[in-house]
Amino acid sequence: MQFLDIHTHKLCKDAKIRSILSLSLTGKEQPVLPAGQEISVGLHPWFATMAHLEADYCRFVEMAKETKIKLIGECGLDRLKGEKLENQLIILRKQLNLANGLDKPVILHCVRCFDELMALKKEMKISVPLIVHGFNKKEELGRQLLDKGFYLSFGPAILNADSGAAAMLKHTEVFFLETDDGDRNIEEIYQAAANLKNCTVETLKALIFASWEKIKLI
Ligand SMILES: [Zn+2]
């Protein structure tokens, strides 16, 4: 069974690993979609601007329909970077609407905007799975997100046993793992997660593929 890296910015050609390469469509140039690679596309909150929204969104809509595009994102909200929050909400709404219409799950970036994110999900009646990536907050917030129907993905933060990510992972059954843009490889992250959950890496692979199946991505 393969490792699943649900969110990475690095192209990986290892047959042991199934990865979803995340591309932001906010640059001037059209990104090349690598052959045989599963991909997510979105307008990243760090780079998306109102000035280029129309052009970026047109390109995004075209690409998002392709079958190799497994997830929409990363997109989301970031209180510390990018456009003012009000504009980030406009940009995110467009992407969530599209994801809902295409029936594709979303990979979300969220920095200090969890209340806004939860309110948006409710208000827009989003029915596709929403995955909060790189979760590393208190267990209480993680619980709240799960209760509201979000999914969580954990990254290199779990290598620190004292992190919020590690604490949350111990008590979560449906979740994902990712490398994001870090230097740690997915095998290391699986091993750390297996240690935290007191199980083998093989058991963990099965658990994560069950999570994957739950969001109907296979
Ligand atoms: Zn990322």
Check pLDDT > 80 for residue 27: no
**CA 97 to chain CA centroid, nearest Å:** 17
Mean pLDDT of 3-10: 97
Q: In the CATH hierarchy, which top-level class contains the domain 3-214? A: alpha beta
Q: What tens digit of pLDDT does each residue of 130-160 get? A: 999 999 999 999 999 999 999 999 999 999 9
pLDDT tens-digit map of 29-42: 778 888 889 999 99
Ligand 1 centroid distance, CA of 101 (Å): 23
* Sequence letter at residue 53: L
Q: Residue 86 carries which side chain, given as an amino acid letter?
A: E
Nearest to 88 by CA among 61, 69, 111: 111
Q: How far is CA 65 from CA 53, 71, 79, 216, in A?
A: 18, 10, 29, 16
The strand ranges marked E within 105-149 are 106-111, 130-132
133 C-alpha to center of ligand 1: Å?
8
Domain boundaries, the chain: 3-214
* SS3 of residue 157 by DSSP: helix
Residue 154 Cα to ligand 1 middle (Å): 11
CA neighbor of 20 nearest in space, from 208, 166, 159, 173: 208
| Angle, CA of 76, 66 and 185, to the nearest 5° | 60
Q: What is the pTM (predicted TM-score) of this model? A: 0.96
Predicted confidence at residue 28, as pLDDT, reads 75
Distance, CA 165 to ligand 1 centroid (Å)? 16
Q: 169 CA distance to ligand 1 centroid (A)?
A: 19
Q: Rounded distance, CA 103 to CA 105, Å?
A: 7
Which of 4, 28, 6 is CA-nearest to residue 16?
A: 4
Query: What is the CA(183)–ligand 1 centre distance, in A?
Result: 13
Question: Across the beta sheet with 130-132, what order do the strands follow?
Answer: 3-8, 17-24, 38-42, 69-78, 106-111, 130-132, 151-154, 176-177
Cβ count near 28 (within 10 Å): 7
Please tell me the distance from the alpha carbon of residue 130 to that of residue 100, in angstroms, as a whole number. Answer: 10
Mean pLDDT within 204-208 = 97
- Per-residue pLDDT for 218 more than 50? no
Question: How high is the mean pLDDT of the chain?
Answer: 95
Ligand 1 centre distance from Cα of residue 36 (Å): 21
Q: Which of 111, 112, 110 is nearest to 130 (CA)?
A: 110
Asked if 165 and 177 touch (Cβ cutoff 8 Å), the reply is no
Query: How many other C-beta atoms are found inside a 10 Å radius of the C-beta of residue 67?
Result: 6
